Amino acid sequence: MLDQVVFYFFAVLAVASAILVVTRRNAVQSAIFLVTALLATAGIFLNLNAEFLFIVQVILYAGGIMVLFVFVIMLVNIDVALHQVQFNRQWFVALIITAVLAAQVVAAIAVSRGSLYTMPAAPAGTLEPNTERVAFVLFHTYMLPFEIASILLLVAMVGAVVMAKKRV
Amino acid sequence: MVPIGHYIFLSAALLAIGTVGIVTRRNVIIILMSIELILNAVNINLVAFSRLVGSVEGQIFAIFIITDAAAEAAVGLGIIIAFFRNRETVLADEMDILKW
């Protein structure tokens, strides 16, 4: 019961702040609502017994990536962009295409709902202790992808520094 | 547990909202934020199915997606800064120097 109340609370919060992210005029307000959406997602992770991912989401997304966004909003001067038209000329066509996409996804879910809802959920304690199990699988089965991800981060770091430098 | 379909619908809703942001907004920073929203929608799906199946591998994939999102945000924002320094704009439909 409490499970469901928590889920619906965070789901409504996530969807509402996501809508505000794409409709606000000021980019700083969008960034703040994006933080709310990300924290609501973190709450849903906690609701799903993914404690490690919850803390990664809070520290890395809400703490790290969002600071990056706010810094960039500060660096590019936002006052000019604030007084310009916020939506592009084809926004109506774009909305129709997005509605078609959403209808496709809903239709796919509706087609597969028979097998989806009959699938029995795993018993409550199967993912405990969460961090230990994540670490075990990550460092045994997924060791090579883990190393490749670290190379990716190195490349991204070098790329970001080179890109943002004044003179290359 | 909340039925799995509700998680999928939440994820689909966030995907649709993020797509609207990408295709309608002109500000590149907000387009990047919409991409983050979509990546989050994917993560919700992965973690929900990881809980349903009782296997931790979905969470591993979610960790890799978060890594990707961090790399993408860093490089994307670097590109935005470099472009803003040259052209004084953050609007996507004015970024047309490759068009002739």
Is 80 exceeded by the pLDDT of residue B82? yes
Range of the domain at A8: 1-85
Q: Are residues A134 and A72 in the same domain?
A: no
Domain end, chosen from A33, A62, A85, is at A85
Give A14's strand partners: none
- CB of A137 within 8 Å of a chain B CB? The answer is yes
Is 90 exceeded by the pLDDT of residue B5? no
Identify the sign of the CA torsion B67, B69, B73, B76.
positive
Confidence grade of residue B60 (pLDDT, cut at 50, 70, 90): very high
Domain-located, residue A92: no
Query: How close does chain A come to B38, measured CA to CA in Å?
Result: 10
Identify the sign of the CA torsion B44, A33, A165, B87.
positive
Query: How close does chain A come to B43, measured CA to CA in Å?
Result: 9
Residue B18 CB burial class (10 angstroms; 0-12, 13-18, ≥19): buried
Please identify which residue in the block is written with the tokens 């969807």.
Answer: A15
Q: What is the 3-state secondary structure (H, E, C) of B29-82?
A: HHHHHHHHHHHHHHHHHHHHHHHHHCCCHHHHHHHHHHHHHHHHHHHHHHHHHH
Instruction: Note the pLDDT of residue B90.
Output: 83
Phi, psi of B35 (to 5 degrees): -65, -40
Residue of B nearest to A112 (CA): B5
Please report, for the domain that includes residue A19, its CATH number. 1.20.120.1200
- CB of A84 within 8 Å of a chain B CB? The answer is yes
Question: Which residues, at least 6 apart from A45, have a Cβ–Cβ distance to it below 8 Å?
Answer: A53, A54, A57, B43, B44, B47
Residue of A nearest to B82 (CA): A164
Instruction: Note the pLDDT of residue A78.
Output: 67
ipTM field:
0.91
Residue of B nearest to A52 (CA): B59
Instruction: Note the pLDDT of residue B68.
Output: 93
Query: How close does chain B come to A132, measured CA to CA in Å?
Result: 10
Number of domains in chain A: 2
Domain boundaries, chain B: 4-90
Instruction: Note the pLDDT of residue A42.
Output: 94
- CB of A68 within 8 Å of a chain B CB? The answer is yes
CA B34, CA B55: separation in Å to the nearest integer?
29
Domain-located, residue A113: no
- CB of B36 within 8 Å of a chain A CB? The answer is yes
- CB of B86 within 8 Å of a chain A CB? The answer is no
Task: List the single best residue of B35, B47, B52 to mutate versus A (max A Cβ within 10 A).
Answer: B47
Domain-located, residue A145: yes
Q: Are residues A79 and A1 in the same domain?
A: yes
AA identity, residue A17 = S
Domain end, chosen from A69, A85, A101, is at A85
Assign domain B4-90 to its CATH architecture. Orthogonal Bundle (1.10)
Nearest to B15 by CA among A27, A104, A55, A25: A104
pLDDT in tens, B33-43: 999 999 999 99
pLDDT in tens, chain A (168 residues): 888 899 999 999 999 999 999 998 888 899 999 999 999 999 999 999 899 999 999 999 888 899 999 998 888 866 776 777 778 788 888 899 999 999 998 898 888 877 777 777 777 777 778 899 999 999 999 999 999 999 999 999 999 888 888 766
Domain-located, residue A164: yes
Residue B49: CB atoms within 10 Å: 18
CA A74, CA A78: separation in Å to the nearest integer?
7
Q: Are residues A79 and A156 in the same domain?
A: no
Q: pTM for the complete prediction? A: 0.90
